[in-house]
Amino acid sequence: MLLKSVAVKNFRCYADEVSVEFDDLTTFVGRNDIGKSTILEALEIFFNNSVVSIEKGDACIHSGLDNVEITCEFTELPPSLTLDSGAETALAEEFLLSSTGSLQIRKIYNCSNKKPTAEVFVIANHPAAAGFQNLLELKEKELQARVKELGLDVSLKGNPGMRKAIWAASADLQLTETLLPVSKAKEDTKRIWEQIESWLPMFALFQSDRSSRDSDDEVQSPMKAAITAALAEVQDDIARIQLKVQQKAEEIARNTHEALKTIEPGLARELTPEFTPPTPAKWQGLFSVGLNTDGGIPLNKRGSGVRRLVLVSFFKAEAERRLKSSNRRSIIYAIEEPETSQHPNYQRILIESFKSLSLEAGCQVILTTHSPGFASELPVDSIRFVSRDAATGRPTIQAGADVFGIVTDTLGVTPDNRVRLLFCVEGPTDVVAFKALSKALHAEDNTLPDLDNDERVAFIVLGGGTLKHWVNENYLRALNRREIHIYDRDVPAYAEAVNAVNARGNGCWAAQTLKHEVESYLHPDAIHDAFGVTIAVTDHPVAGKATPKVFAEAYSLAQHFDGVMKDNAAKARLAERAFPLMTAALIHQRDPEGEVVGWMRRIRDMLQ
C-alpha cells in the first residue's frame, strides 16, 4: 500500500482541515515554525503513536474543539483479504473503498482526556439502503437468515459470499460516503480491519530536534528503522508465527471453555474465545539494535557531525540494499531537515540516496527543509510549500508550478551569476546522463568540461527537473546567456526546435542525438555492473522496444516484480546507477563515431 494523501484537522496549528498529496518523494519547504514537521508528526501518530504520541494539548487551542482528526488515503491495495474462516474477500467487494477506488482511514483522537483515546473509521462508498447497510456487523446465523428471507440461491457457508449475494439482490444499494467504525467493531468488520492493519506501510520518523543521551535518537532512529525495514521483509514469517500462536491459543481457550461448561453452564454461554494479534508497533518494540564505537566512547559523545553521519550512512546503505531486495511490505521514511550539521558533500549523498530510495517499489520518502542549497537540488514535482495565509494567519500547503517563484523567494534560492552557458535538455534523467558522460571523458581528457562540477554551465530541464533548473530557466534566460540544446531523436518534432535554435545566429547551438535517445549510448557492461542483468543495447528500438523498455523487462523479471516497471522509472534507475559507471573506454565502444566527444568539445569551445 502507498500513501496517497493525508488530511489533518484541529491538530495543533491546523484548525481547519488541510490536505496534502504525496509522491514517491515529497518535500515540505517553508520557514521555521510554519507547520512542516506537524504533518510528519501527524503521520507518526497515525501509524505508530510512538516516537511522537498524541497528547491532550495537541488539539488546536483556537478551535475550542477536543477531537483531532487524521485521515490517510492509500492506493496499491491488497488484491484480497483472508478472514479467520479461510474465506477470501476484497475491499472492493465489501464496499470499503472510496468513490475513486482508494482506501481512506480516519483516526479521531479525543483530547478531552488526560490520555487521549482513539477511534478508527474507514470512509467508504458503502450501501445505505435499508436492510443492506450493516451486513459487515452481522454474524453468520444472521446472514443466513437474511439469505433465506430473500430466497437467494447461495451457499450458507462463508460470510463474504452471502454478503455479496445479498447486496446483489438490491435494486439500489444507495451507495453513500459513510464512516464505518472498525476499531471497536465486531464480526467480519473487526477481522477485515486486522487484515488492513497488517498491510499498512511501515513508518519511520527521523526528527531534527534530538537529545544527547547515550540512547540518542539521532543514532537510535536509523537503527530502529533497520528493525522496521527488517520486519517489513519478514511479514510472511510473522504471519505464520501469529497463525500458530492463534491456533494454539484458541485451542487452549476452547478446552477451557468446554471445562467451564461442566462447572457453570450459564456462565459459559456468556463467553466466546477471541484472539487479538499484536499491532505492528508492538512487534517493533520487541527488538533493539545499537552501534558501539572504538574505545568504548558513546557515539553521542562524538559530536553532532559524526552522529549525523550515521544518518547519511543508513540511507545510503538502505538505498543500495533495497535495490537488491524484493517481496517487501511498503515503507515510508520521514526525515526532518536531513541537511542539519552536514557538509555539502554529505548533503548531496543524502539527496541522491533519497532519490534512489523513492524509485524503489513500495518505498516513499518525505522530507522537510528550509535550506536553499538543499531545496535547490530537489525535484520540483516533490515540493509542497507550507506558508500562512496573509489574511487569516492560518497555515496552507500548496503544490505545483505556481508556487515555485514563491518558494525561491522565501528560501533565497538564487541563480548563479557565474553561469555562462545554459544546457537545455528534455528531462531530469538527461541531466544525470550528460553529467556522467562528461565526467568520464574529462578523466581521459581534462580539456573537456566536467559538467557535474563546472559552475559555468547550468542545466535547463524542459520537462520537470529540480528547483535549481526552474530558477535557471526563469531567471538566467532573461540575461541572454548562450544556450546549447541536445534532444533525443525519438521525437521527430524536436527537429523544428533544433532548426529554430540554430537559426538564431547568436552563438546558440542545438542538435538531436544520432541514436534513439541518450540511454542508447549506455554500454551493456555498465548496466550489468549496476544491476546484475545482461541486455542488448541497440542504437534504435528493436521490435518496438528501446533500451529502457528492454532493461525494465529484464530487471523486473530478475527482481520478481509483479509487473514491469514503467519506462520513466527504468530511465531513472539507469541514470542513477548505470551512467555513473560509464568510462571513456565504454563510451568509445558504444560511440565509435565520437558523437558524445563532439558534444563536449562544442561545450568547451562555447565556454572559451
Is 517 domain-assigned? yes
pLDDT beyond 70 at 211? no
- Determine the average pLDDT of the residues in 132-142: 92
- The confidence band for 604, taking pLDDT boundaries of 50, 70 and 90, is very high
- Determine the average pLDDT of the residues in 463-492: 73
pLDDT beyond 50 at 243? yes
Q: How far apart are CA 102 and CA 105, in angstroms?
A: 10
**Selected residue with higher pLDDT from 596 and 353:** 596
Is the Cβ–Cβ distance between 510 and 486 less than 8 Å? yes
Q: How far apart are CA 315 and CA 326, in angstroms?
A: 17
Q: Residue 194 is which amino acid?
A: E
Is 463 domain-assigned? yes
Among 100-104, 115-119, 289-293, 594-598, the minimum mean pLDDT is found in: 289-293
**CA pseudo-torsion sign 577, 579, 580, 584:** positive
Question: What three-state secondary structure class fits 152?
Answer: coil
Cell numbers found for residue 544: 518496438
Cell numbers found for residue 397: 500547503
Decide the pairing of beta strands 331-336 and 363-369. Answer: parallel
Contacts of 326 (CB under 8 A, 6+ apart): 361, 559, 560, 561
- Determine the average pLDDT of the residues in 411-419: 70
Read off the pTM. 0.77
Is 176 domain-assigned? yes
- Determine the average pLDDT of the residues in 540-560: 94
Task: Tell me the range of 54-58, 241-245, 398-402, 411-415 where mean pLDDT is highest.
Answer: 54-58
What confidence score (pLDDT) does residue 327 get? 46
Is 9 domain-assigned? yes
- Determine the average pLDDT of the residues in 55-59: 94
Among 62-66, 480-484, 535-539, the minimum mean pLDDT is found in: 480-484
Among 5-14, 269-278, 291-300, 393-402, the minimum mean pLDDT is found in: 291-300
Cell 557515539 belongs to residue? 299
Q: How far apart are CA 362 and CA 24, in angstroms?
A: 9
What confidence score (pLDDT) does residue 583 get? 98
Q: Residue 253 is which amino acid?
A: A
pLDDT beyond 60 at 596? yes
What confidence score (pLDDT) does residue 103 get? 98
Strands (E), 372-456: 383-388, 395-399, 421-425
- The confidence band for 414, taking pLDDT boundaries of 50, 70 and 90, is low
CA 150 remoteness from chain centre: 46
205, 234, 255 - which closes a domain = 205
pLDDT beyond 70 at 57? yes
Is 309 domain-assigned? no
pLDDT beyond 90 at 313? no
In percent, the amount of the chain with pLDDT more than 90 equals 48
pLDDT beyond 50 at 308? yes
Q: Which domain holds residue 516?
A: 421-607
Is the Cβ–Cβ distance between 99 and 177 less than 8 Å? yes
Residues 35-47: pLDDT tens digits? 999 999 999 999 9
Is 563 domain-assigned? yes
Phi and psi dihedrals of 185, rounded to 5?
-80, 170
CA 31 remoteness from chain centre: 24
Q: How far apart are CA 604 and CA 598, in angstroms?
A: 10
The H or E element that residue 81 is part of is strand 81-82
165, 181, 205 - which closes a domain = 205
pLDDT beyond 50 at 216? no
Is 262 domain-assigned? no
Among 30-39, 164-173, 458-467, the minimum mean pLDDT is found in: 458-467
Phi and psi dihedrals of 219, rounded to 5?
-95, -40
- Determine the average pLDDT of the residues in 297-319: 64
150, 183, 205 - which closes a domain = 205
Q: Report the CATH number that the domain containing residue 25 is assigned in CATH.
A: 3.40.50
Residues 437-477: pLDDT tens digits? 999 999 999 999 999 999 899 888 876 566 566 656 666 55
Residue 454 gets the label, from left (phi > 0), alpha (psi -120 to 50) or beta, of beta
Among 1-5, 34-38, 286-290, the minimum mean pLDDT is found in: 286-290
What confidence score (pLDDT) does residue 47 get? 93
pLDDT beyond 70 at 272? no
**CA pseudo-torsion sign 352, 356, 359, 362:** negative
Residues 178-190: pLDDT tens digits? 999 998 877 788 8
User: How confident is the prediction for the chain on average, in pLDDT?
Assistant: 85
Is 226 domain-assigned? no
Among 12-26, 451-465, 500-514, 525-539, the minimum mean pLDDT is found in: 451-465
> Using the 8-state DSSP alphabet, how is residue 551 labeled?
H
Our count of domains for the chain comes to 2
Contacts of 110 (CB under 8 A, 6+ apart): 66, 67, 116, 117, 118, 119
pLDDT beyond 90 at 172? yes
Residues 356-385: pLDDT tens digits? 888 877 889 999 988 776 777 778 888 899
